[in-house]
Amino acid sequence: MPSLPDNLGGVADLLDIAIETATPERVVATMPVTPDHHQPFGLLHGGVSVVLAETAASVGGFLAAPDGRAAAGLEVNANHVRPVRDGTLTATATPLHTGRTTQVWEVKIRNADDQLVCASRCTLAIVDQTDAPSAA
């Protein structure tokens, strides 16, 4: 199984996303919600939830991909079902389909009270690792 980099970098670092569990069958990621994550009206920005969901799915997709292959996002959707102002979110990603050229992951984001905040589905392309964006 391929290994993850020590640091996710990029937007994951900016949003303070941490990977708690990472296997090809399940990824758990956490993220604090601070005013830096808010939209103009003091609630968690929906785009931040989407970043958390796609990060969790992409980590799982990378781990589920064959050697020499990587995962890159093709499509993501999200239903925001509960507003959040603060606390810690937990995203749990599980694969619905892990094919040769595509993967589909379901991601459920919950608050500290285990209430559903966002339900997302991410479709990933499985590409040659040399075609994947650089981690640098």
Residue range 23-74, pLDDT digits in tens: 999 999 999 999 999 999 999 999 999 999 999 999 999 999 999 999 999 9
Query: Is residue 109 in a domain?
Result: yes
* Containing structural domain, residue 61: 10-131
Residues 6+ apart with CB under 8 A from 101: 125, 126
Give the per-residue pLDDT at 133. 60
Could you tell me if residue 53 is inside a domain? yes
pLDDT in tens, 105-127: 999 999 999 999 999 999 999 99
How would residue 80 be classed by pLDDT, with cut points 50, 70 and 90?
Answer: very high
Strand pairing of 116-128 and 69-80? antiparallel
Positive or negative, the CA dihedral 11, 17, 23, 24 is negative
Query: What is this structure's pTM?
Result: 0.92
How deeply is 135 buried, as exposed, middle or buried, from its count of CB atoms within 10 A (0-12, 13-18, 19+)? exposed
Mean pLDDT for 74-79 is 97
**CATH number where 25 lies:** 3.10.129.10
The catalytic residues are 54
The domain tally of the chain equals: 1
